Structure 1
């Protein structure tokens, strides 16, 4: 059996305010070509199908079209919810979807009940462990301990018991932060009142564990892997090299795992320098169509910097100012404002954030605003 491990689609997510639905449909729809070319039997999504618990109509439509393409290419699909999804909404029509080869494993009560597939070597049981919010899940599972490790250990115990009674090979989907994994900036923390890490040993005894939650592709053990997200959702992912895992099971279990690269609809880059130099330097031509994060080093904060950058770099989405040479002195609020008038404090603030003192016309506006506020209070 050939299994394609994906996770963290986050359909409906934006990138610094930019809509990504077109890029998401292009990349995710391309999974259907992989299914056909690689003779994939089952595609799994280990959590965070959507970016929100209540996705908008456009995100739902994109997801539906992608799943239809994958099914038309010949693969069955197994999905379990992540911390961004609503398990109840995602699993609402699970019974009907299963008739068409789409299996939604969304409930805690049924996490030990696998989707059963057959290949030339016999049955393969695919278990979906939905994201387990510790405080809710520990009551549902009858666990006294608190935290992710306690509830996932009990979930894995139940799956392991079913597998032992059933026999055959077993694949597990789980959405968790497993110890040894490396996070990035675009993941929402799942630490709620305790440590979020789960020991990898929790998943011992299974032929393959398809992990979701971390957005970079990672191998924690031969059988224990993160596929990562199919698109980059933060500049910290610029060098990830997005891909999916292709796992093959033979009669004895896991026969091998390979990665398959996914296309990059728009590359991510970072530029650093003074605004005028960035706008004129021909060396930056190759990144003009990239998503850009820009660090400006001008001694004085440039006005309307993002709009000006977007004239040359239409996909510049993030700007920060770090003046060349840095700021002098450590700011201590109480010391800086002691004995100063409102006007002096406002002027000092403007000078600090912009790198230059306010102009005379700005001072006049400040005085007018301060006097108006004083009259209103009085």
Structure 2
């Protein structure tokens, strides 16, 4: 039996103000091609189907169409909710959907109710642990400590109790889906913090003894142990993911258990470019030609902030979405506190020019100084005549 481990689709998300629904539709096409060409029996989605608890109509429509296409391709779906999803909304109609091959795990009372998949003489029990907000779930799970580690441990205790009972009746292998931050995972800028200061990290040894753990939440595909993996998001959702290969994992289960785990890659519609240098270097260098068709994050290192920098950059890199400034050799005046510069200004012209330099990190040009001088002279003359 082949299963496809995915997560963090984030339907409805934008990328620095650019809508991503078209890119997400192309991802779905890649997903369906994998399902058909590789003979996938079950698609696992480990949380964050949507980007927010109240998704837009277009995002809901895309997800509905995706489920229909997966089922038409012959694969079942097992889905658990993430921290971006509304568990109650996502889990609506779960009993009815299960009859159509779409199995939702969004409630605590479903923790020990696996989806059973036949492996010949054995069974694969797939458990779905939705995102567990400690403050809201600790009491119901019987945990006296409202922490991510404590509630995850309590949830896994329920899973293991059920698993032991099933194994007493026959040969059963285990797969657990969970949406959490496991210790050792590498984060990206596009994930929402589950807690402050890293206290939300769940110890990796909580998953010991399980045949495979399909994690969601972190957007970089990664292996934490032989049996614990993050599939990562299918698309990059921050420039920190510029170097990521996006996709999922194909799992092969047989009667003896987990036989193989293989990564599968899906190309993004647009590449991401993270560029740094002076404005003239970036505009002239042939090394950056590939970035002309990419979404760009650019850091300019000019000592003086160039005029109309974004406008000039977009003449070459049309999709520059993020622009920042990091002078290679900060000027002495820029390092000086603004209050000190005000105190040391010898006249009104220096005061005005100093303010202009402070707010835009570039000294006034000769033309600007002349305009300010004329304006100040005019104001002084008007005050005298009054």
Name the CA distance, whole Å, in 1 between partners of 2:348 and 2:248: 58
Q: Name structure 1 gaps, 5 residues minimum.
A: 369-378
Deviates more, 1:33-42 or 1:267-276: 267-276
Determine helix, strand or coil for the equivalent of 1:177: coil
Which of 231, 243, 249 is the matching residue for 1:239?
Answer: 243
Tell me which residue corresponds to 1:356. 362
Determine helix, strand or coil for the equivalent of 1:103: strand
| 1:134-176: CA deviation from partner (whole Å, max 9, x where unpaired) | 1111022121012100000000000110111112111110011
Determine helix, strand or coil for the equivalent of 2:264: strand
The answer to whether 1:274 aligns with 2:286 is no
Determine helix, strand or coil for the equivalent of 1:298: coil
Contact 1:147 1:193 in 2 (8 A): no
Name the CA distance, whole Å, in 2 between partners of 1:365 and 1:309: 33
Name the CA distance, whole Å, in 2 between partners of 1:60 and 1:366: 57
Structure 1 residue 363: Cα displacement: 4.5
Structure 1 residue 330: Cα displacement: 4.8
Name the CA distance, whole Å, in 1 between partners of 2:331 and 2:159: 56
Determine helix, strand or coil for the equivalent of 1:51: coil
Determine helix, strand or coil for the equivalent of 2:60: helix
Structure 1 residue 183: Cα displacement: 0.6
Tell me which residue corresponds to 2:61. 61
Change (3 A) 1:182 1:156: same
Name the CA distance, whole Å, in 2 between partners of 1:181 and 1:116: 29
Contact 1:121 1:250 in 2 (8 A): no
Structure 1 residue 296: Cα displacement: 1.4
Tell me which residue corresponds to 2:383. none
The answer to whether 1:178 aligns with 2:196 is no
Change (3 A) 1:247 1:346: farther
Structure 1 residue 300: Cα displacement: 2.4
Paired residues for 1:136-147 under 5 Å: 136-147=136-147
Tell me which residue corresponds to 2:205. 201
Contact 2:46 2:179 in 1 (8 A): yes
Count of matched residue pairs:
370
Q: Name structure 2 gaps, 5 residues minimum.
A: 378-386
Structure 1 residue 131: Cα displacement: 0.3
Paired residues for 1:311-330 under 5 Å: 311-328=315-332, 330=335
| 1:341-373: CA deviation from partner (whole Å, max 9, x where unpaired) | 9997775453134333343477589989xxxxx
Name the CA distance, whole Å, in 1 between partners of 2:301 and 2:313: 14
Structure 1 residue 256: Cα displacement: 1.5
Tell me which residue corresponds to 2:14. 14
| 1:254-312: CA deviation from partner (whole Å, max 9, x where unpaired) | 11111111112111112223324433444332221011111112332233322332232
Determine helix, strand or coil for the equivalent of 2:138: helix
Name the CA distance, whole Å, in 2 between partners of 1:365 and 1:124: 82
Paired residues for 1:262-341 under 5 Å: 262-328=266-332, 330=335
Superposition TM-score, scaled by structure 1 size: 0.90
Determine helix, strand or coil for the equivalent of 2:136: helix
Contact 1:77 1:103 in 2 (8 A): yes
Paired residues for 1:7-156 under 5 Å: 7-156=7-156
Structure label with greater radius of gyration:
2
Change (3 A) 1:290 1:201: same
Name the CA distance, whole Å, in 2 between partners of 1:243 and 1:114: 25
Tell me which residue corresponds to 1:225. 229
Name the CA distance, whole Å, in 1 between partners of 2:258 and 2:355: 62
Name the CA distance, whole Å, in 1 between partners of 2:136 and 2:348: 50
Change (3 A) 1:195 1:35: same
